[in-house]
Amino acid sequence: MTTRKDSAKWREMLKPLILALIALASATTAYVKSHSEVSEGSERNAVSMAKMETRIELIEQRTSKVERESEILKGTLSDIKSDVSFIRGKMEAQK
């Protein structure tokens, strides 16, 4: 049978071990919480990156469309200039 003196002795011997286990549990909890926050941050970053890539693709499509329209308008302007030159030449020839 253990006496109070023996119990106190064991308690004193186990006290550092118990404190170490509590510290380890606390550190583990902090690590898991930190890792969880990092994972959530990574997921948020991935979603943001996907949204940005989508926006970039849309901007590239719009830019391509504007460039095509610009080329068409340049061709139309060139045709108009040719027509004006032709008409001007005809009018000067009639004078």
Question: Does pLDDT of 3 surpass 80?
Answer: no
Q: What is the pLDDT of residues 39-48, one digit of tens each?
A: 777 778 888 8
Higher pLDDT residue, 77 or 35?
77
* pLDDT tens readout for residues 48-79: 888 899 999 999 999 999 999 999 999 999 99
Q: What local confidence, expressed as pLDDT, does residue 79 receive? A: 92
Give the containing element (helix H, strand E) for 48: helix 4-94
Q: How far is CA 71 from CA 60, 62, 78, 84, in A?
A: 16, 14, 11, 20
Nearest to 75 by CA among 63, 83, 86: 83
Q: Band the pLDDT of 38: cuts 50, 70, 90.
A: low
Q: According to the model, what pLDDT value does residue 2 have?
A: 62
